[in-house]
A and B are shown apart, each in its own frame.
Chain A
Amino acid sequence: EAGVAQSPRYKIIEKRQSVAFWCNPISGHATLYWYQQILGQGPKLLIQFQNNGVVDDSQLPKDRFSAERLKGVDSTLKIQPAKLEDSAVYLCASSLDLRYEQFFGPGTRLTVL
């Protein structure tokens, strides 16, 4: 079974630029998550989708971050404009349904200069 795919793996941008990350979850998984992991900390949930509906986006900085999951399959997360403090690893995860174990992708390491 293929795992969660993410691209790109690495991205370096300057502050105030825009960036987008892509995630393809495991086939058949209804729930998709985007996490931000800052070095030395645990993953912090940014947004959670159930199929193509948003379940929780309470910690998403909506003035600069946006995410969509069209057709309830793959998803994109965008940052516009980026700030220095956005430097982190962005992890996508999926699960069969709510409350099931989560399978994480390899992550995208973002550096904002």
Chain B
Amino acid sequence: GQQVMQIPQYQHVQEGEDFTTYCNSSTTLSNIQWYKQRPGGHPVFLIQLVKSGEVKKQKRLTFQFGEAKKNSSLHITATQTTDVGTYFCAGRDQGGSEKLVFGKGTKLTVNP
């Protein structure tokens, strides 16, 4: 079945450093969503990417969808302590399944 893999599993940065998490799917995706989960909280939607090669920005966050629609990345510029949490990508297979498959997430900690 479809698998979604994320690396790294953990990332610890100093405040002000950049951060990137990568997401790879075993199958071609129709779209990919990114969620953030704060410690003790629930996942919160960040963005959805649909088009091949799509790049979207939200303030310090940049999201990319690969040309082959099998990978994606999230880059945070100049991290802040408020960026702490686990970032999940979730992909929907292009083959027609309506199921969203989540990766295991990248846990980000920021040292002030």
Contacts and interface: CB of A to CB of B under 8 A. Distances in A.
A42 B98 contact: no
Interface string A3-42: 0000000000000000000000000000000000000111
Interface string A36-64: 00001111110010000001101000000
Main secondary structure of the interface of A (DSSP, over half): loop
Contact of A42 (B45, B48, B92, B102): B102
Contacts of B27: none
Q: How large is the interface on A (under 10, 10 to 19, 20 to 34, 35 or more residues)?
A: 20 to 34
A87 to B, nearest CB: 17
Contacts of B98: 48, 55-56, 98-99
A101 to B, nearest CB: 4
B108 to A, nearest CB: 14
Interface in A52-92: 55-56, 58, 91
Contact of A40 (B42, B44, B104): B104
Given A104-B43, A104-B44, A105-B42, A42 B88 contact: yes
Interface residues of B, number: 22
A45 B104 contact: no
Given A102-B45, A105-B42, A106-B42, A42 B104 contact: yes
Among B45, B90, B100, residue most surrounded by chain A Cβ atoms (within 10 Å):
B100
Interface of B: 4, 30-31, 33, 41-45, 48, 88, 90, 92, 97-105
Interface of A: 40-45, 48, 55-56, 58, 91, 93, 98-99, 101-107
14 contacts: A41-B104, A42-B102, A43-B43, A43-B102, A44-B102, A55-B98, A56-B97, A91-B43, A93-B43, A98-B98, A99-B98, A101-B45, A102-B33, A106-B42
